[in-house]
């Protein structure tokens, strides 16, 4: 028996770039319903992970799935061509905790993908990171610190904040990888990933996906040390990857 449940969708294409990014999503459906929704909207992802830990493969990793949409990260656009997309099922759209089994299986899958393609830790991202004006997923309850402990993505160390004396929010967010052309959107996406306590609780799914971020959002001053520490970590790993 295959380790994945295969349900291939035709909504994919040839890649034009090397795989260098892993994008984590969530949708408010179980796996079977999510597959139907993707089919109806002519979209796809490479994998879906159900709360019970079952993994569905919808597109070959060799192909470009249609999961990222209009996107930007660290100077690169149209990330479908260079990324692998994993959808997690979450009836709360990531506003409440994911199941332990789902997280364990997602960690295993991510580790395999990162190792196989040598994906840099700076390029393990949320859908909300690469599309901050359009997407809130995988949500404030996604356990990014735990994933970083497992070698999946980066987390900050507060002692590093003293190594950075910048105060410009846009410059620091850009150092991490965000598109800062809409600064409130980028700032709120940063909070979703690194400071979810500053993200408003919203259990109304329709409102959550229609009102992505407060248009007048300003990064709280008390978060500046966290932002500086994150920027330091991402700059450090960028230097290491270029060495």
Residue 195 belongs to domain spanning: 5-242
pLDDT band at 167 (very low <50, low <70, confident <90, very high): very high
42 C-beta neighbours (distance < 10 Å), count: 10
**Residue at token pair 């061509």:** 81
What pLDDT is recorded for position 1? 34
- Please, what is the end-to-end C-alpha distance for the chain in angstroms? 42
Judged by phi (left if over 0) then psi (alpha if -120 to 50, else beta), residue 177 lies in: left
pLDDT surpasses 90 at 71: yes
What pLDDT is recorded for position 241? 73
What pLDDT is recorded for position 195? 98
- The set of catalytic residues is 87
pLDDT band at 119 (very low <50, low <70, confident <90, very high): very high
What pLDDT is recorded for position 64? 98
Q: Residue 110's domain is classified under what CATH number?
A: 3.40.80.10
What pLDDT is recorded for position 47? 98
Q: Check if the beta carbon of residue 231 is closer than 8 Å to that of residue 162.
A: no
What's the rounded Cα separation, in Å, for the pair 211 and 22?
25
pLDDT, tens digit (0-9, with 9 covering 90-100), for 23-70: 999 999 999 999 999 999 999 999 999 999 999 999 999 999 999 999
pLDDT band at 145 (very low <50, low <70, confident <90, very high): very high
What's the rounded Cα separation, in Å, for the pair 111 and 146?
13
Whole-prediction pTM: 0.97
Over residues 176-181, the mean pLDDT reads: 98
Count of structural domains within the chain: 1
Closest CA to 211 of 224, 202, 223, 220: 202
Considering only residues 117 and 202, tell me which one the structure prediction assigns the higher pLDDT: 117
Q: Check if the beta carbon of residue 177 is closer than 8 Å to that of residue 129.
A: yes
Q: Check if the beta carbon of residue 208 is closer than 8 Å to that of residue 192.
A: no
Write the DSSP assignment of 109-167 as a string of letters: HHHHHHHHHT--GGGEEEHHHH-TTT--TT-TTS-HHHHHHTTSS----GGGGGG----
pLDDT, tens digit (0-9, with 9 covering 90-100), for 221-233: 999 999 999 999 9
């Amino acid at each position: 028996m295959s380790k994945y449940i295969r349900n291939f969708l035709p909504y994919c294409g040839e890649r034009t770039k090397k795989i260098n990014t892993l994008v984590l999503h969530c949708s408010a459906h179980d796996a079977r319903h999510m597959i139907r929704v993707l089919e109806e909207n002519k979209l796809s992802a490479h994998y879906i992970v159900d709360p019970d830990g079952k993994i569905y493969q919808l597109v070959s990793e060799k192909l470009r799935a249609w999961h990222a949409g209009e996107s930007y990260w660290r100077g690169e656009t149209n990330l479908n061509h260079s990324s692998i997309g994993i959808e997690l099922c979450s009836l709360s759209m990531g506003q409440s905790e994911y199941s332990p089994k789902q997280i364990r299986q997602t960690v295993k899958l991510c580790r395999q993908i990162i190792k196989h393609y040598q994906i840099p830790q700076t390029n393990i991202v949320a859908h909300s990171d690469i599309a901050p004006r359009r997407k809130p997923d995988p949500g404030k309850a996604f356990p990014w610190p735990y994933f970083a402990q497992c070698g999946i993505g980066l987390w900050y160390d507060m002692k590093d904040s003293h190594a950075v004396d910048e105060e410009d929010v846009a410059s620091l967010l850009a150092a991490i990888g965000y598109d800062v052309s809409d600064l409130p959107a980028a700032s709120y996406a940063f909070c979703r990933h690194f400071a979810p306590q500053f993200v408003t609780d919203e259990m109304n799914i329709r409102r959550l996906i229609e009102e992505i971020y407060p248009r007048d959002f300003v990064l709280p001053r008390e978060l500046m040390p966290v932002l500086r520490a994150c920027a330091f970590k991402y700059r450090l790993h960028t230097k290491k990857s270029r060495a």
